[in-house]
Structure 1
Amino acid sequence: MDRLLSMRVFQKVIDEGGFAAAARALDMSPAVVTRLVADLEEHLSTRLLHRTTRKLSLSMAGEIYLERVRVILQDIDEADRMANCQNHQLAGVLRILAPPVLATHVLAPLIAGFRQLHPKIVLNIEVASYKEPPIEEYDITLLPTDDQFNGDVIARKISSAESILVASPAYLKLRGTPFKPEELTQHDVLRLKIPGQQQRVWRLLDSDHDDAPVEVAVEPVLWVNHSDTVMRAALDGAGITSVALDLVAPYLMRGELLRVLRPWIAGRLQLYAALPSRQFMPERTRVFLEYLIEQTRIHADGALLACNAC
């Protein structure tokens, strides 16, 4: 028995003054309305209504029960209304999980602009690196991946970018500029630690052609599991590294880093926003995703222009 439905039907029978009228108001058959009230009485082991051919009245137990039922149903309807309001209004807390590099270079630059558009939405950002992020605990989880992606995860693609090779002008002036991938063996290489990847093999792709990748054996002078550390070391002239074009664009435009080995790239990176569910997406989540996609597209266009000009 659906007790909540039976309670609503019982209340409607009293408010409408009869089973037939309640059935019309609820768009049910009179037989279903009669059965639901009977099921409720059977569940309670007491008679709620006195029925005659001419009159319907509450028993004493029915009067007491109806009084409580009205309060209970009002509370449930109010709870539903509040939950629905939270789901649709542009207010409330938006919980986001992001790894450090994305929090710094993707999320942080967007906060001021988004807050100007939606001042009632509070951003609660957790910055952490997870091998298996707890996606169900957050409204949005930012996931950087390569070309492979777990199809079981509910996610929306935000952007894609090439990972290009860069070095500082000071380093290139001191050590020279490589013109072939094989020449990387003669240079100081800075590598980001990525689980499951060999750090001593650099797999490079020609972005202008679909040829097989070239694998270059290198001996990195720096291994580190933090993107900003690699970037800082490259800016200070420590060697050659690979960085997503979106992240390195500002440094290319200012001439602080230069691209090397064009058109070779160290891979293609994708950014996804993982969601806890396909259904009932809060409006605040939707507007943030749209803003994130729009701003990353604008930034990507600027990064491409910067790369072509460098």
Structure 2
Amino acid sequence: MDRFDALQAFARVVEAGSFTKAAQTLHLSKTTVTQLVQQLEARLRVKLLHRTTRQVRVTPDGAAYYERVVRVLSELDDADTALSDASASPRGRLRVDVPSPFARLILMPALPEFHTRYPEIQLDMGVSDRIVDVIGDRVDAVLRGGEVTVSALVARRIGDLPLGVYAAPSYLQAAGTPSHPREIEDERHRIVGFLRSSVGRVASIEMRRGDETVDVRGRYAVAVDDGNAYLAAGLAGMGVLWLPRYMADAHAARGELVALLEDWALDPMPMYVAYPPHRHVSAKLRVFIEWVESLMARHAPGTSPAGAPPPPRPTLQRPAPAP
């Protein structure tokens, strides 16, 4: 048994929750991955995984062992990569997944600048607002907005996006302009719903003014799970929107959206880059993160400093709307 291969196979099975997905990402057969884990268990004389026909779950001993394994793998990867990165410019294929509005309005217009600076990096960019299986989909990193909960991904906070409340003039002409967040829940008004795929329902939004805090839900005629579609529905007059300001500014300047309830505060949307815990932040990923941080500073100045320390072992939980 090659101990390094066995440790890597075990870590990947824990993260993917599946021998099949782990085998795909390691470019090995499922049989080989299964044998490596079995040999590791035999050597340790400890059961690391519970296996059923439907799922693989880590045992308490396996969970404790996994925490040590990912540190060892990360240190080995750091040592290897430090030598190669020191003598080479960033290069190679980088697979990332980013929210659709953020890609359309911020990343794509600035992409020529990135390519000029790093011509040997090939970006495979998934553009969506869905929750991505980083391990199973073989993605190097995902860029997402929202709070985090404890799981097996490492997240790096790269900044915050200010939010605002908006509606189209056609909507306000028909429904009236709300003067308090609670009015948005009246029968006259409706929102454009943003579907959180993780829970299968429309998310609410919290607004504050002084000591008063209001959690607004509202009724909706349409709910979507894509940021571009969400904005388009609002521009069409389908309801009130909660938007990152970078998505709304141009439309507000042209009179296509009207800012509402500006004396009420909304928490900014934190932005994170997340990746598997055992994966070294390669030179190509590091410069991509730094580039996105610079774009955040350009488009959302005055927010929390980029690179603020994230909670331990977080995963992404998409808010409404996606950036």
Task: Give the structure 2 partner of residue 204 of structure 1.
Answer: 206
Determine whether 1:189 maps to 2:199: no
8 Å contact kept, 2:98–2:127: yes
Conserved 8 A contact 2:153-2:277: no
Aligned to 1:7: none
Please show how residues 3-22 of structure 1 align to structure 2 within 5 Å. Answer: none
Q: Secondary structure at the match of 1:250?
A: helix
Contact 1:187 1:239 in 2 (8 A): yes
* AA at the equivalent of 2:238: A
Shift of residue 263 of structure 1? 2.9
- Rounded to whole Å, the distance in 1 between the matches of 2:263 and 2:233 is 23
Q: Tell me by how many angstroms 1:151 deviates.
A: 6.3
Secondary structure of the 1:284 match is helix
Deviation at 1:277, TM superposition (A): 4.3
TM-superposed CA distance for 1:279, in Å, is 6.4
Give the C-alpha shift of residue 175 in structure 1.
3.0
What is the identity, as a one-letter code, of the residue corresponding to 1:191?
G
Any runs of at least 4 consecutive aligned residues in structure 1 with deviations exceeding 6 A, and if so which? none
Equivalent position amino acid for 1:275 in 2: Y
Shift of the alpha carbon at 1:302?
Answer: 9.3
| Counterpart residue number, 2:293 | 293
Q: CA deviation at 1:106?
A: 4.0
Report the alpha carbon displacement of residue 292 of structure 1 after superposing the two structures with TM: 0.6
Q: Counterpart in 2 of 1:140?
A: 141
| Cα distance in 1 between the residues matched to 2:260 and 2:132 | 34
In structure 1, the residue matched to 2:238 is 238
Q: CA deviation at 1:231?
A: 0.7
State the Cα distance separating 1:273 from its structure 2 match. Answer: 0.4
Q: CA 1:172/1:129 → structure 2, altered by over 3 Å: closer, same or farther?
A: closer
1:255 equivalent in structure 2: 255
Give the 3 Å change call, closer, same or farther, for CA 142–87 of structure 1 in structure 2: farther
Give the secondary structure class of the aligned counterpart of 2:229.
helix
The 3-state SS of whatever aligns with 1:156 is strand
1:281–1:120 distance in 2 versus 1, CA, 3 Å: same
> Is the contact made by 1:140 and 1:273 (CA closer than 8 Å) also made in structure 2?
yes
| C-alpha displacement of 1:90 | 2.2
1:204 is matched by which residue type in structure 2? E
- TM-score, with normalisation over the residues of structure 2? 0.58
Contact 2:207–2:216, Cα closer than 8 Å, also in 1:
no
CA deviation after TM superposition for structure 1 residue 290, in Å: 0.8
Q: State the number of aligned residues.
A: 220
Q: Does 1:112 align with 2:112?
A: yes
Gaps of 5+ in 2: 3-79, 304-323
Question: SS of 1:178's equivalent?
Answer: coil
One-letter code of the match for 2:142? T
Question: Residues 96 and 123 of structure 1 are in contact (CA less than 8 Å); yes or no, is this contact kept in structure 2?
Answer: yes
Q: What displacement does 1:174 show?
A: 3.7
SS at match of 1:215: strand
Which residue in 2 is equivalent to 1:14?
none
Superposed displacement of residue 213, structure 1: 2.5
As a proportion of its length, which structure holds more helix?
Answer: 1
- Structure 1 residue 169, shift from structure 2 partner: 2.4
Alignment of 1:56-71 (within 5 A): none
SS at 1:281 equivalent: coil
**Cα separation, 1, equivalents of 2:252 and 2:276:** 37
In structure 1, runs of 5+ residues without a counterpart are 3-79, 304-310
Rounded to whole Å, the distance in 2 between the matches of 1:84 and 1:110 is 28
**1-side partners of 2:279 and 2:223: how far apart?**
42
Matched to 2:166, the amino acid is V
* Equivalent runs, 1:1-310 vs 2, <5 Å: 84=84, 88-131=88-131, 133-135=133-135, 137-146=138-147, 148-150=148-150, 152-184=152-184, 185=186, 186-195=188-197, 196=199, 199=202, 202-206=204-208, 209=210, 211=211, 213-216=213-216, 218-265=218-265, 267-277=267-277, 280-301=280-301
CA 265–241 in structure 1, closer or farther in 2 if over 3 Å, else same = farther
Give 3-state SS (helix, strand or coil) of 1:192's partner: strand
Q: Answer with 264-273 or 107-116: which moved more.
A: 264-273
CA contact (8 A) 2:101 2:247 kept: no
Aligned residue identity for 1:230: Y
Identity of aligned residues (%): 25
Write the deviation string for residues 84-140 of structure 1: whole angstroms up to 9, x where unpaired: 259942222221122434433443233122112222221111234544522583332
Instruction: Summarize deviations over 1:20-42 as a string: whole Å, max 9, x none.
Output: xxxxxxxxxxxxxxxxxxxxxxx
CA distance in 2: counterparts of 1:288 and 1:131, whole angstroms: 21
Q: Tell me which amino acid in the other structure corresponds to 2:272.
A: Y
